[in-house]
Structure 1
Amino acid sequence: MTNPATTSLLDRANLDRDAVRNEVGRGLAGADDGELFLEYSQTEALMFDNGRLKQATYDTSQGFGLRAVKDDAVGYAHSSDVSLPALVRAADAVSAVRGGYTGNFASPPPHSNVKLYGDDNPLDAPGFESKVKLLGEIDAYLRDKDPRIRQVTVSLGATWQVVEILRPDGESYRDIRPLVRVNIS
């Protein structure tokens, strides 16, 4: 399987770029603005409660959304099936928003994005056992601080998201969004 951090999400889904560009253009023809938004994300959540692991979840999801804007009307279609037939259905759905209207497509946004994060996925390392051990160590540390502590809940949540936006003129924008959060109560 290809790595979504280094590969276009279109390529990851084995989609032909020209076919995708044609469908996006067809769905957004005559609109004032719009884009195809693709997303791939992985999430992990661990909860350590009262000295033991109580919950561990892991999820991978992907999908796309196609948006067309005409004046103050918005047409939006989305799917978790990243395929050309799903994109064709989405283009049909969003094209209905413009009716007989022919707009002037908005200029693309400036290329002002600054890459804030690397491609590293925080779910990859450390491993599951190390994460559980860390939660146990936090639990023990807190209990050692005060004998009055009766209940400790420590959770670790991580998300790694890759987004790609494709405009009908072929402009493409990508971003990687890692997030790790530790909660203690």
Structure 2
Amino acid sequence: MIELILHGFIDRPRRKQAVVPRGIATGDLDRVFGQLMGPSIDAADLYFQHSRSESWTLEEGIVKDGSHSIEQGVGVRGAISGEKTGFAYSDEIVLPQLLEASKAARAIARDGHGAGKPLALHNARALYPAIDPVESLPNPDKIALLREVDAYARARDPRIKQVIVSMAATIDTVLIAASDGTLAADVRPLVRLTCAIAEANGRREQGYSGGGGRYGYREPLENGRALRFADEAVRQGCGP
């Protein structure tokens, strides 16, 4: 699992404008800790995070807005030396940058500049599937899902003139490595779908409903939740 997550920071579909870092293995982490630790350093840890998200908005039956973003980085908590703690950060998850960050964090802790709180490391049971919701549905199917909810909402009441349907997904991957050999990881998917009625009854009425969870895009449609969001938005906008 840990090795998969380490390489999962880099084994993501390549997209235009996306910076894809190279692979980091547990042996590389040993090298970083070897440089970070020393006689005056009591403990240290590394915090890796990679977040990828997207959003889609359908208005008047047309995709009016869409976005995709990737954020990543690694924080080095440079060691508690007595009461001193140093921090360094890199947005590139590559070995050379990790080694540079470890040097900086160790120097800060040793020289007495900077302070911070230690990371909380623990092992937790899996509460949701480690899936990538962004890739759980092809893009044409995502648009089809938005249009299905839009058509369903309009069919519920002929007075409805404008419907806005949006959905978003995020995959957040976290890995914490501690100098005592502890590795803790989490993969956190999140999907949200909303339906809004912006015009009904011949005037500007509003109705809104939505929700989400830690699953892929298919689940809201397969369990009927997406259409129930539309039902509630129509109820609010048009009345019983």
TM-score, length of structure 2 as denominator length: 0.61
Q: Aligned partners of 2:23 and 2:172: how far apart in 1?
A: 19
Contact map agreement 2:132 2:171 (CA 8 A) in 1: yes
Q: CA deviation at 1:52?
A: 0.8
Matches of residues 90-129 of structure 1 in structure 2 within 5 Å?
Answer: 90-99=101-110, 109-111=121-123, 113-129=124-140
For residue 174 of structure 2, give the secondary structure of its aligned residue in structure 1: strand
Q: 1:72 to 1:157 in 2, by over 3 A?
A: farther
| 1:1-185 alignment runs, 5 A limit | 7-9=4-6, 12=10, 13-27=22-36, 29=38, 30-31=40-41, 34-68=44-78, 70=80, 74-99=85-110, 109-111=121-123, 113-185=124-196
Indicate how the Cα distance of structure 1 residues 165 and 51 shifts in structure 2: closer, same or farther if over 3 A, else same. Answer: same
Shift of 1:94: 1.5
For residue 164 of structure 1, report the CA deviation from its aligned partner.
1.1
Computing the radius of gyration over CA atoms, which structure comes out larger, 1 or 2?
2
Q: Which has the higher contact order (CA 8 A, sep 6+)?
A: 1
Separation (CA, whole Å) in 1 of partners of 2:121 and 2:68: 35
The sequence identity of aligned pairs, in percent, is: 29
For 1:62, the aligned partner's letter is Q
Structure 1 position 170, deviation (Å): 2.0
Q: Deviations over 1:21-41 (max 9, x none)?
A: 232354355456542111233
- Residue 49 to residue 77, structure 1, CA distance change in 2 (3 Å): farther
Q: CA RMSD in A?
A: 3.1
What's the offset of the Cα at 1:116?
A: 1.4
Q: What is the deviation of 1:99?
A: 3.0
Q: For residues 5-62 of structure 1, what are the alpha-carbon distances to aligned partners after superposition, in whole Å with 9 as ceiling and x for unaligned?
A: 9714168533353342232354355456542111233222111112211122233443
Instruction: Find the aligned partners of 1:17 and 1:6 in 2 and give their Cα distance.
Output: 7
DSSP 3-state at the match of 2:148: helix
8 Å contact kept, 2:46–2:178:
yes
- The answer to whether the 8 Å contact 2:32/2:102 transfers is yes
- Normalised TM-score (structure 1): 0.77
Q: Give the secondary-structure state (helix, strand or coil) at the position aligned to 2:93.
A: coil
SS at match of 2:172: strand
- C-alpha separation between the residues in 2 aligned to 1:59 and 1:100? 37
Shift of residue 109 of structure 1? 3.9
Aligned residue identity for 1:178: P
Q: Structure 1 residues 109, 63: CA separation in 2 closer, same or farther (over 3 Å shift)?
A: closer
Question: For 1:129-155, what per-residue CA distance to the aligned partner results, in whole angstroms no more than 9, with x for missing partners?
Answer: 111111112122223334444432211
Structure 1 unmatched ranges of 5 or more: none
Given residue 134 of structure 1, which amino acid in structure 2 is its aligned partner? Answer: L
User: Which structure shows the bigger proportion of residues in helix conformation?
Assistant: 2
Question: Which 5+ residue runs of structure 2 have no aligned equivalent?
Answer: 11-21, 113-117, 197-240
